Structure 1
């Protein structure tokens, strides 16, 4: 149902049509898309994670600030005549017990310049960092704790 609502809202925003006939066509086309997606089994069985809707907004603000800070750090490394790059590959365990939380954590690491989540398997992330300082930033666990807070999980257990 949430997919249909999202698709219809998106269609309405893009089309801007308010005539009843066109609204009906839009609703019908959204229904067909949802039906086909359901038949192809491409709809996420967890559905829309509505429990994240408002909790994630402060996390996004914090993540945007972390991205800005990481951009500045990476720019300093690149601009420096010595080019102080010290690439590191390391593994860390995600505290989130569910896949959605682990994926949010891995994607947040990848969105932050200078770090990339290379692999996620059984709750263990393999991460590449441009510098040792970037690796230390991930290993502090601040981002991991914040994702747990957004997901309502602490120390790998549901609250």
Structure 2
């Protein structure tokens, strides 16, 4: 299995885990079920933050010689990303948003009737989708070469000495 396939499969698998635990938490809505849903959502959010920062670091390194935009990186827009990858990854991101919305609206109040529910933590999960989109694009995207490269350290020093 190629590394780019691994990212896609991880996104699909982790989204499935979110769907199952969020649905379980919304359907059963016991304290234990809510904990399962909330902890799963928080773990997926934490993974998403880590992967997002990792993808950003890779993209910054590549951006020295390649033209990379934020929309290409996190929404997989443009020619740099193959259509099947864009479709799968963005549909997975949309599923994460839909799952969070549906499960939160299914139980808008806590078990004792107070407003708000632990299921709202699911709205943090799409960070996973953005992070994995970014990781795929930063690692495997086919971006255009920069037409004008940034100045080297030597050029900056020379300009500073003459300025």
Q: TM-score, normalised by structure 2?
A: 0.29
Q: Which has the higher helix share?
A: 2
Q: Which has the higher strand share?
A: 1
Q: Highest relative contact order (Cα 8 Å, sep 6+), 1 or 2?
A: 2
